[in-house]
Amino acid sequence: MTKANRKHLIIVGGGASGIACAITCKQKNPDMEITILEQNERICKKILKTGNGKCNLGNINIVNGCYYNQDFALKKVREFDVAAFFDDIGLLTKVDEQGRMYPYSETATSVVEIIKDKLDRLGVNIRCSFEVLKITKTDKFIIQGVDETIIADYLVIATGSNSQEKTNGYLILENLGHTIKKLSPRLVPIKVQENVKSLQGIRIKCQATIGNYQEKGEILFKENGLSGILTLNISRYVSYNDKISLDLIPEIDEKVLERKISEGLVERDISTILRGMLPKMVALDIMKRATKVEDVAHVIKNYIFTVDTLYGFDSSQVTRGGVDTSEVDDNFASKKINNLYIIGEVLDVDGACGGYNLMFAWMSGKKVGLTI
């Protein structure tokens, strides 16, 4: 087949979903010309930041609640074998006791190096520093960059989200006729209405309750709010004025704690008793909040913070909202435009901490790669 006769697939976005799509599609269609257009000077930039540099690339526990918009996401992710996908491209993975999957090397750089090697060996074209500005469709796709226009037979939009990145992917898809659901940062620290300045820098293990949602984990106090993995997960469920209740000693029942404190009071004062249980500044705050000694156990078990706002996209790991998933089919093909596919986080799907977001990105990329 001559180059002129070859079908050309353009993938906009060289992140997790885009590269999974490129690899799978090129393996299946070696004759197809496949080009990734990436606005940054290199591909996979965000992957390097994931999992604190260790890249939590998946999770083997796909449970109820791990995705927003789970009716769309859950079944597809359950059918996807993330370990096999990486085994195929030459990356050994391992799973920790919480079901989180990591590269065996525990470094995101090895994930990126293996991906780049695979793309290179397959002969996928990679054009970095190419920001797509606008796309129109006649019988083919006309993709406009800053000073170049490219024509494609098939188009995949894999532009990711606003979280710690800039993208005009939402606008491009809106101009192509798709609906964009309201965007907001998630997996993000939470500003609270209470003054927490004195607690800044303290990490505390606890159980958080917000509405029907409950999770154990670690909170990190910031100057004006809460952070840490537990907070990031809570940020999926909160809005203004919601009350987040922290149980600082979840292992001990409130009545038992009450008794322990009153027995302790025989020999010690309340501040010494609390110092034996909690970090100093937290203990002081508990004493400020409890109007009388008898309330202390209750305050420890119900340490309440009121949501002010979420921190911004620059501090978030994912973006809630995006392309309305009712406008793509189960293979991520647009129901509005022929030969257009939409994958990854630009869709209105977001997951909890723990590898769920990358799982969705690899899965959707692979599915489209097999479909085209």
Ligand X SMILES: Cc1cc2nc3c(=O)[nH]c(=O)nc-3n(C[C@H](O)[C@H](O)[C@H](O)COP(=O)(O)OP(=O)(O)OC[C@H]3O[C@@H](n4cnc5c(N)ncnc54)[C@H](O)[C@@H]3O)c2cc1C
Least distance in angstroms from the C-beta of 344 to ligand X: 2
Residue closest to ligand X when measured from CB atoms: 15
Q: Cα–Cα distances in Å, from 358 out to 77, 82, 321?
A: 11, 10, 16
Q: How is residue 285 written in tokens?
A: 């705050």
Q: Which is nearer to ligand X, 248 or 353 (CB)?
A: 353
Least distance in angstroms from the C-beta of 71 to ligand X: 19
Q: Which is nearer to ligand X, 167 or 339 (CB)?
A: 167
Q: Which is nearer to ligand X, 274 or 318 (CB)?
A: 318
Give dist(CA 113, CA 304) in Å, integer. Answer: 45
Q: Which is nearer to ligand X, 10 or 199 (CB)?
A: 10
Least distance in angstroms from the C-beta of 95 to ligand X: 14
C-alpha torsion angle, residues 153, 79, 181, 173 (rounded to 10): -10
Q: Are 310 and 319 in contact (CB under 8 A)?
A: no
Beta pairing class for 33-37 and 8-12: parallel
Which stretches does DSSP call E strand in 158-276?
180-186, 190-192, 203-210, 213-221, 225-227, 243-247
Least distance in angstroms from the C-beta of 316 to ligand X: 7
Least distance in angstroms from the C-beta of 210 to ligand X: 22
Query: Which positions touch ligand X (CB under 6 A)?
Result: 12-18, 37-40, 45-46, 49-51, 56, 131-132, 158-160, 163-165, 167-169, 317-318, 344-345, 355-358, 361
Q: Cα–Cα distances in Å, from 225 out to 131, 188, 198, 286, 305?
A: 36, 11, 11, 17, 9
Q: Which is nearer to ligand X, 164 or 209 (CB)?
A: 164
The Cβ of residue 212 has, within 10 Å, a number of other Cβ atoms equal to 7
